[in-house]
Chain A
Amino acid sequence: MTHPALRLDDTVHQRVRLGILAVLSEASRADFGYLRDALELTDGNLSRHIAVLEDAGLVKVEKGYAGKRPRTWVQATRAGRAALKAELAALQELMARVEGGGGAKVRAARWEGGAR
């Protein structure tokens, strides 16, 4: 069994890209503007990270309109969802290797009003 740290995927593990996949794991698709605001990024920074994820086949990008408003929709692919899940599992395993590795904080964070 490999050490969980070795199972971390560099493409997914980067902070912003993890954030993008985290948002997309809760939605069928999200607009570029929502991702930018939710993750507090600049347009250029977000574009660069989306391009990396798109090249890796983890997200799909589509341009379209909602009424008259142009939208750039970003959607996690099946591989993208699986990659996020695997990443979180590896991180959990890393934590579990240390006694009392903060599981309670993580459980609390999953709830509204939990650890910030």
Chain B
Amino acid sequence: MEPSEAERTILDVERVRRSTRHALNPIWYPNIAFGLFFAGTAAVAFLGLGDTPALVYWVLGGLLTIGLVVRYYARVESELGVISPTIDASTLVLLALIAGVVAANVLAEGDASAYAPTYVGAAGTVAMGLVLRDRVELAAGVAIALVATAVALLSPEMPGAWANLGLGLSLLVAGLVGRDGA
């Protein structure tokens, strides 16, 4: 066998694997769903509706968003006729991301409580981009890190709301770009 033939074979295998991976991980959908959710948290904060409506939004909106994403992924698997591995790398990244955001919220104090979870979100998004080998996701992670840095440096009023707005818009744009490319 010639090395050029070996290369062609590897390229074919990688193409098939990438296409299956992307079919099973339509990451644009959670990007749009979570993008809208986080942009919504910012809107609730800017409107000054108070702590209780904000808490209700976070809990109900968060659960609804997760539910929509889970349902969409299940529908994609059913329509395709392919079942993802129960625990794959992207699931582990997602679980680590959720744990990291919760930990950052609990541990960070003062202004850091606004941007620390956003940095964790950026790291998680970059990790997801690496796992899925998705350049749009990587770019979204970098954009989220820039948002966190801007909030840390500029210390605006309501830093948490600004950080969430930047996070939400970054995810939303990544989702729309990814959907067009899907």
Contacts and interface: CB of A to CB of B under 8 A. Distances in A.
B107 interface: no
B108 interface: no
B18 A31 contact: no
Contacts of A32: 81
B18 A109 contact: yes
Nearest to A24: B20
Contact of A39 (B1, B7, B16, B86): B16
Contact of A26 (B3, B6, B24): B24
A98 B6 CA distance: 11
A89 B9 CA distance: 12
B80 A34 contact: yes
A25 to B, nearest CB: 6
Contacts, number: 112
A113 B182 CA distance: 11
Contacts of B96: none
Contact of A109 (B14, B78, B83, B134): B14
A29 interface: yes
Contacts of A26: 17, 20-21, 24
A33 B80 CA distance: 9
Interface in A79-116: 84, 88, 91-92, 94-95, 97-98, 101-102, 105-106, 109-116
Contacts of A112: 18, 22, 132-136, 181
A78 interface: no
Contacts of B7: 91, 95, 101-102, 105-106
B21 A106 contact: no
Contacts of A111: 18, 133-135
Interface in B94-145: 132-136
Contact of A101 (B3, B22, B24): B3
A71 interface: yes
B11 A106 contact: yes
A23 interface: yes
Contacts of A110: 14, 18, 133
Interface of B: 1, 3-4, 6-7, 9-22, 24, 78, 80-86, 132-136, 181
